[in-house]
Homo-oligomer: A and B are copies of this chain.
Amino acid sequence: MCQLINNKKPSAGLSLALGKILVSLGAFLFSSTLSAQSASPLEVSQLIDEYRASREKVILQDFMELLSLPNIPDNQDDMDLNVDHITALLEARGFSARRLQAGGSPYIYAELMQPAASETLLLYAHYDGQPVQLENWAYPPFSPTLLDATLQAGGQPVDVEALTGSFDPEWRLYGRSAGDDKMPIIALLHTLDALAANDIELSVNLKILFDGEEERGSPTLGNIIDAYPGLLDADLMLFCDAPMHQSRNVQLVFGVRGVKTLNMTTYGANRPLHNGHYGNWAPNPFMQLAYLLTSMRDESGRILVEGYYDDVAPISDLERSAIAAIPDITESLKDELAINTPEGNGARIEELVMLPALNVRDMSGGSVGNAISSSATVALNLRLVANQKPETVEALIETHIAGQGFHIVYEDPTDDILRSNEKVIKLDWVGRGGLGIRTPMDGVMPQRLAQLLQSVIPELILTPSMGGGLPLEDFTTRMDMPIIVLPLANHDNNQHAENENIRLQNIWDAMSIYGVILANFGNR
């Protein structure tokens, strides 16, 4: 577990010393006490590390075997091979496993019930992957390849078969889904092996759900939950996806932003017009968009639509304290990204992503010639936060746009509509949009998890909300359990892109974290 701490390898003594620091840090945010356990969290962490150190090659080979199964949901045969393979791995560990399907790709459900446990954990990961563009990959995406450094640093392939002993934890395993999101599957299974090898019992009932369509937005997840009532019920859900904090510190994330996509199109003449002959007379649709956008959002990012912040969940004192305790990465981020002055009037990014955002993603519609185009389109991504309802957001924005003098349509306007309205805008709301979600940080289960992990990871980061989205909505609207996101992949894992990879240390750390949670989270 010691590798979790800033990637150094301090002695057990230092780990223990750091553990003491937690007492003050943890007490700052949480006040409950740890339950009695047969092996302390630090002991569990050390035992898992020792077990793993002797088995790295086997774990890696298991992982490579799983990664060699293509997992793009377009090919259902491939998905079935994944399901069969993972199911066999689960059953070999004593799980009772089922294939759940309700109109989409299959999900894998499995459980390992403990007669003595009073709490149930639901662990989520997904086994599907993003499509690949073969020509962009340095090594074939489904021929997992271990490199002795990152590609950018000139990493060269390592022959895993020929290796003995422990590996350099900075080595990287390249392959589709190495970071997003097959790693938690392998880490969990080998954690269970490690616990069994050390005769450590699980302190909780363990339920797992491995999603087969996450990269498509889990379109049938709601159907699954509805079709198997009670099956997924748990006291706490751990959503194991997404990359870790850039500082490499372990992080628990208590919320996500939702998203709503809006394309807006304004109109000039019904055909492109020579901007010499007509410039100053023909309406310019790009200028209409420019004025509209500046009426919707100020230069600091504040949304100017009336009532837009009315529903926004306020930031609690606990959440503000948590943000204040997170190492401030603003300056290093500004340097890395070459940004002089971020938006937000100096507020921290962790606070700014708890507010709704109106992001201009693209503007398009111009012509190659010297024309005033007949239309121009802006693509917006609206990021929503907890309590904001997509329907309300839609209504507020439409009221604002109408107030700017636009006649709103939802299909391409006819010439008659253009002739009879001073300004016309087509709104294309792409889908309903997803909710922003925040799990209260003061809940019993979230507090217990944070305190447990802080006992072995004093630098644990507690993040009230990430800025991006995750498919949590179907769980929160259909079920009643706190959800905490536990990211485990290195932040530079290239998820969704070519050359996706996992840093070996991140697998090892995941095992330690899982071990501590499984052995020590439950009240026994």
Contact A279 B466 (CB under 8 A): no
A272 to chain B, nearest CB (A): 10
Option from B270, B280, B371 in Cβ contact (under 8 Å) with A355 = B280
Beta-carbon contact of A273 and B340 below 8 Å: no
Task: Report the separation of the CA atoms of residues A297 and B291 in the bound assembly, to the nearest whole angstrom.
Answer: 10
**CB < 8 Å: which of B270, B287, B376 contacts A297?**
B287
Are the C-beta atoms of B467 and A344 separated by less than 8 Å?
Answer: no
Which of A278, A281, A421, A467 is the most central at the interface, judged by chain B CB atoms within 10 Å of its CB?
A281
Distance (Å) between the CB of A343 and the closest chain B CB? 6
Binds B, one of A23-31, A53-61, A330-338: A330-338
Binary B-proximity of A70-97 (CB < 8 A = 1, otherwise 0):
0000000000000000000000000000
Please indicate which of the listed interface residues A259, A342, A353, A359 has the most CB atoms of chain B within 10 Å of its own CB: A359
- Decide yes or no whether A299 CB sits under 8 A from chain B: yes
Cβ contact within 8 Å between B422 and A349: no
Q: Which residues of B contact A363 (CB under 8 A)?
A: 286, 363-364, 366, 376
Contacting residues, chain B, for A365 (C-beta < 8 A): 362
Given the known interface contacts A274-B467, A349-B281, A359-B279, the answer about A340 and B294 at a Cβ–Cβ threshold of 8 Å is no
A444 CB to nearest B CB, Å: 29
Is A518 positioned at the interface, with any CB of B under 8 Å from its CB?
no
Interface check A381, CB cutoff 8 A: yes
Total copies of this chain within the assembly: 2
Among A270-308, those with CB < 8 Å from B are 270-271, 273-284, 286-287, 289-291, 293-294, 297, 299, 301
Which of A43-51, A196-204, A320-328, A412-420 participates in binding chain B?
Answer: A412-420
A493 on interface, CB distance cutoff 8 Å: no
Q: Give A345-378 interface residues, CB cut-off 8 Å to B.
A: 349, 352-353, 355, 357, 359-367, 369-373, 376, 378
Q: What residues of B have a CB within 8 angstroms of the CB of A416 in the complex?
A: 338
Contacts of A278 in B (CB 8 A): 349, 467
- A277–B467 touching, CB < 8 Å: yes
Knowing A299-B291, A361-B275 are in contact, say whether A341-B283 is a contact too (CB < 8 A).
yes
* A216 CB to nearest chain B CB (Å): 15
A-B CB contact pairs (8 Å), 8 listed: A277-B468, A280-B344, A284-B360, A287-B294, A338-B415, A339-B418, A340-B423, A362-B365
Task: Knowing that A279-B353, A290-B360 touch, tell me 17 more A-B residue pairs with CB under 8 angstroms.
Answer: A269-B338, A274-B467, A275-B383, A276-B381, A277-B353, A277-B466, A281-B353, A282-B339, A283-B342, A286-B360, A286-B362, A287-B360, A290-B290, A290-B293, A291-B294, A340-B422, A364-B366
